Structure 1
């Protein structure tokens, strides 16, 4: 295939991603089908090694980010369309972003707690999420540092791009960005966000689902300023990892 023909095909695909609702829905489904297939095929190679299992999950998230980036390029868009603006920032703006991120952090924690209460009332057993996959962190400061570095990229940044920036925008666009479509997008993104934490058990799915709902609502109310959510997510990840590190003490 010649470069001209290839460029023409990519342009047509980009146009379909803009206009065709079925193609838009297919883009979302293909992302999760691809990710699910990748994890199913590669995960057995990790065996019971928690580090290798974590590496597979991180790799899957990075591949998802690449997929999302390709979708943006095909549309002629950029990360800015998801609310990610790169560049210098004034001290006043930095303070404002930090304060807003702390507010979102509190709201997300509240959502997490609500999920815990709901599950406790349904099951009658106030059990915590299954976090045994992070046992390698206990008492190991170097693994904590390495894990935090990876988590900030893959979880704090990656999950906000995928489950807020990508999902909410793409699902909303299928409904022509109407108010109803946006509400549905926020709800569906939070459900999917909860389900991808299936390894944490039923409690973890519900907890993260409600946390995702709080983050999704914040994303819309803050006019899609995604960096605020990335920071809030980073605070939660830091606290979680630190707790797991100190669990053996």
Structure 2
């Protein structure tokens, strides 16, 4: 019995160390944090003898219905960003989100393709594995998957996700923090299915990229 408790505590200690390392990588913006943490995840799964599926990759009884529902929710979420969140933050801070990374995207089809590939690989797939998959699973594991654990997992992982986007300025950090909450809620709604968060993330970014391509950077509707 004692040996079992010891092993459980050891795994929790290892999880804490992993979280501290991952958090440090994100806050210090070392190299490309998502890539580094994907490496940490590979090691973590290896020592635990777990498969990638344990991070939340689940089957769904109706993929088409899930995808359509998520796309509708993402459109509504995007409109909330443009009509409420962005304008309010713009007026409160006297600044706008730093979208300079996309300033040359308007009308540039080759750049659009490049960003679309990047958004569905490193962003949607990679970041969701890191933030809504790995980080949330490790945090929840420390609290036996209780409601407190779920709240802390969503809150901490979302804060780190926001801090990973400091290049977009204060408004960018806040907006991506809100996006992380949104992606987390979608994942939870679909029985912690990480695919739901990946689809939501990729769709959200795709709408934004298409907007930049046709209109240029948009900082709100008013």
* Structure-2-length-normalised TM-score: 0.81
Q: Which residue of 1 aligns with 2:103?
A: 135
Q: Does 1:105 align with 2:96?
A: no
How far residue 107 of structure 1 moved from its aligned partner, in angstroms, is 6.3
Quote the Cα distance in structure 2 between the aligned partners of 1:174 and 1:150: 33
Alignment equivalent of 2:17, drawn from 26, 35, 40: 26
Match runs of 1:49-88 below 5 Å:
57=32, 60-85=33-58
Q: Which residue of 1 aligns with 2:197?
A: 229
Alignment equivalent of 1:204, drawn from 172, 186, 203: 172
Structure ranking higher on relative contact order (CA contacts 8 Å, 6+ apart): 2
Quote the Cα distance in structure 2 between the aligned partners of 1:246 and 1:18: 54
How far residue 230 of structure 1 moved from its aligned partner, in angstroms, is 0.8
Q: Which residue of 2 aligns with 1:38?
A: 30
How far residue 110 of structure 1 moved from its aligned partner, in angstroms, is 6.6
- Would the alpha carbon gap of residues 230 and 21 (structure 1) be closer, same or farther in structure 2, given more than 3 Å must change? same
Aligned-residue RMSD, C-alpha:
2.8
Q: Does 1:194 align with 2:194?
A: no
Alignment size in residue pairs? 210
How far residue 93 of structure 1 moved from its aligned partner, in angstroms, is 2.1
Quote the Cα distance in structure 1 between the aligned partners of 2:64 and 2:160: 32
Gaps of at least 5 residues in structure 1 are 1-14, 40-56
Quote the Cα distance in structure 2 between the aligned partners of 1:242 and 1:71: 37
Gaps of at least 5 residues in structure 2 are 1-5, 218-222
Quote the Cα distance in structure 1 between the aligned partners of 2:214 and 2:206: 12
* Structure-1-length-normalised TM-score: 0.73
